[in-house]
Amino acid sequence: MGAITEALYERLAGDLTLAGLLATYGGEPAVFSTDPPPGDATLPYVVAAGHVSQEAYDTKTTRGLTVRRDVRCYAKADGSVETIEAIAEQVWALLHRYTLAIVGYETWVVECTGPIRADDDDAYGRVITARMVIVKTVEEGS
């Protein structure tokens, strides 16, 4: 698991409020860093896998990245959006303006947009997009 994926997973899976809203998988909250999630996963769950985009964010003294990552939330399409909205709101609250602990980088900012509706026939879906600006200080001689 890459450093950004690991930081997102730890932040989401480690939150007791979010964990209480999700199913479990392998004894852990159903937060997946693989896409698609395992075929035997049950709803509700969250998928935080793969960047939407990644751009250089370099200055004279730093090397960094602007990364956009979609965090997709899913719950059963059971006639009520209460569960999916609660999950999406908690994901947004956990990430927006939070300083992620990304190994090898310093988080300058995380900003979230959404949730955007992404329903299908069997599941309600919501997408939160996290924009992360992370930097690694350039060492002398680099």
Q: Which of 55-59, 63-67, 69-73, 92-96 has the lowest mean pLDDT?
A: 55-59
Judged against a pLDDT cut of 60, whether residue 142 lies above it is answered with: no
pTM summary value = 0.90
For 35-122, list the strands marked E by DSSP. Answer: 45-47, 51-56, 62-76, 106-117
Average pLDDT over residues 26-45: 95
Average pLDDT over residues 103-118: 91
Topology of the domain comprising 3-137: STM4215-like (3.30.2000)
**Residue 69 near residue 50, CB atoms below 8 Å:** yes
Q: Which of 41-50, 73-82, 104-113 has the lowest mean pLDDT?
A: 104-113
- Cα 67 to Cα 5: distance, rounded to the nearest angstrom: 11
Each domain of the chain, given as residue ranges in start order, spans 3-137
- Cα 62 to Cα 126: distance, rounded to the nearest angstrom: 35
* Residue-level pLDDT at 141: 47
Q: What's the whole-number average pLDDT of the chain?
A: 91
SS3 call for 22: coil
Judged against a pLDDT cut of 70, whether residue 104 lies above it is answered with: yes
Beta bridge partners of 136: 63
* Residue-level pLDDT at 138: 53
* Residue-level pLDDT at 1: 58
DSSP class of residue 37? P
Judged against a pLDDT cut of 70, whether residue 99 lies above it is answered with: yes
